[in-house]
Amino acid sequence: MNLFPRWRSHLESFCIPVGALLVALLLFGGLCALEGYNPLAVYSAIYQAAFGSWFAWQNTLLRAAPLMLSALCTVLPARLGLIVIGNEGALVLGGLLAAMTGVWWVSAPPLLGLLAMAIAGILAGGLWIMLIGALRHFRGVNETISSLLMNYLAIAFLSHMVEGPWRDPSSLNQPSTFPLPDALQLGNLPPSRIHYGLLYGLVACAIAHLLIQRTTFGFAVRTVGGNRRAARIVGLATGKLTLAICFLAGSCAGLAGMVEVAAVHGRANGALNANYGYSSILVAFVAKQNPLTVILVAILLGGILASGSLLQRALEMPDATVMVLQGLIFLVILYSESLYDRLPWFREPPQLEDEAARGMPPPVLAAATAKPPLPSGDLHR
């Protein structure tokens, strides 16, 4: 009889994050006013720079592209109850190995060559994070600390190789590997200046969503993530699942590295280590470990970064301003999670308030009906 049941709850899951964004901007405007900047000019700059036009959208999407793939490196293990923060390391290794594959196989036909590079990136990142999963499963080494430590190792390896054995001797003041041939560089999505990495990111997020929500494998992962001990009693092979999900997670970050190399840098060097990995951890957590929500949060962060550029150029604000804005927006969004079911206006009439209200908080912007487990309780396992 009701064509659109639970519309209030859908409206709620749209209004709360958007409202949080507005509140954060209000707070930020207040801070700016205290510092003597005109808040209206600040808002106008943020909008213009991030979403005000096709030019701005391209800027935003370009910055969002590497974050999507890289965020999946945290999202997938989180569904199994693991907190992996090795994104930066997997990205860097994937990029380095992908670049070297292209360099070793210069004569490759473009499609095969790019495929080989992608596979190299996927394998490098995947095996790297799988090692973290293996240490976790077989030795009980906490995956959060091992992935953090291994980031430093991967970055040291990158620096050592591009400044030592794999260095192109003609890359004088910016030590790099040999450049990729033009045929092995990823182009842009016509008619824009956004490279194919964005498409890869969108597709990977969609696949991750289907994998987790619609397959037996995903069901097993969610079961283990919900209750590891029970899953073991039921007879799920937690070890195999851990290794598989860690491999998939790392392969996404490794592919992000390959995209950076093939679409942006054209070679591997120290610029690969650009903190995408660390930003994407935040994206994963704000997205509540939901692959589809990751897309939206990554675009939001891309927009924030893009507006940071104009805030400096047009209003001469210090470069750290955008970090404050970023922290503020994400803190308020995180706080807003606690407002679900609390605002009377969004309450459903009693008879409709069934399973939806008792479930987990609806994900940001109603992107999915997933029920992500919060992996936070895992540090002690």
Q: In this structure, what token pair is assigned to residue 275?
A: 């903190």
**Phi and psi angles of residue 290, each rounded to the nearest 5 degrees, phi first:** -105, 120
Q: Under rule CB under 8 A, how many of the chain's residues touch another protein?
A: 92
**What is the nearest approach in angstroms of another protein to the Cβ of residue 198?**
11
CA–CA dist 332, 152 (Å, integer): 31
| Residues 300-339 contacting another protein, CB under 8 A | 305-306, 309-310, 312-314, 316, 318-328, 330-331, 334-335, 337-338
| Residues 183-222 contacting another protein, CB under 8 A | 193, 195
Check residue 88 for interaction with another protein (CB under 8 A). no
Q: In this structure, what token pair is assigned to residue 315?
A: 């209003």
Q: In this structure, what token pair is assigned to residue 160?
A: 């050592």
Q: How far is CA 135 from the centre of its chain?
A: 24
* Pick 119 or 284: Cβ nearer another protein: 284
Task: Please give the DSSP secondary-structure letter assigned to residue 380.
Answer: G
| Residues 30-59 contacting another protein, CB under 8 A | 44, 48-49, 52-56, 59
* Pick 161 or 211: Cβ nearer another protein: 161
Residue that is written with structure tokens 């490196």 in the block: 73
* Pick 159 or 223: Cβ nearer another protein: 159
CA–CA dist 317, 308 (Å, integer): 9
* x-marked contacts with another protein along 256-295 as a string, rule CB under 8 A: ----x---xxx--xxx--xx-----xx--xx---------
CA–CA dist 96, 158 (Å, integer): 7
| Residues 96-135 contacting another protein, CB under 8 A | 135
**What is the nearest approach in angstroms of another protein to the Cβ of residue 141?**
5
CA–CA dist 63, 287 (Å, integer): 17
Helix (H, G, I), strand (E, B) or coil at 269: strand
| Residues 243-262 contacting another protein, CB under 8 A | 260
Instruction: Output the CA–CA distances (angstroms, integers) from residue 219 to 22, 207, 214, 306, in the order listed.
Output: 36, 14, 8, 38
* Pick 8 or 137: Cβ nearer another protein: 137
**What is the nearest approach in angstroms of another protein to the Cβ of residue 377?**
5
Q: Which of 21, 141, 183, 207 binds another protein (CB under 8 A)?
A: 141
CA–CA dist 45, 306 (Å, integer): 10
CA–CA dist 182, 193 (Å, integer): 17
CA–CA dist 228, 317 (Å, integer): 49
Task: Please give the DSSP secondary-structure letter assigned to residue 195.
Answer: B
Q: Which of 70, 87, 146, 177 binds another protein (CB under 8 A)?
A: 146
* Pick 14 or 340: Cβ nearer another protein: 340
**What is the nearest approach in angstroms of another protein to the Cβ of residue 269?**
7
Could you give the angle at the alpha carbon of 272 between the alpha carbons of 102 and 119, nearest 5°? 35
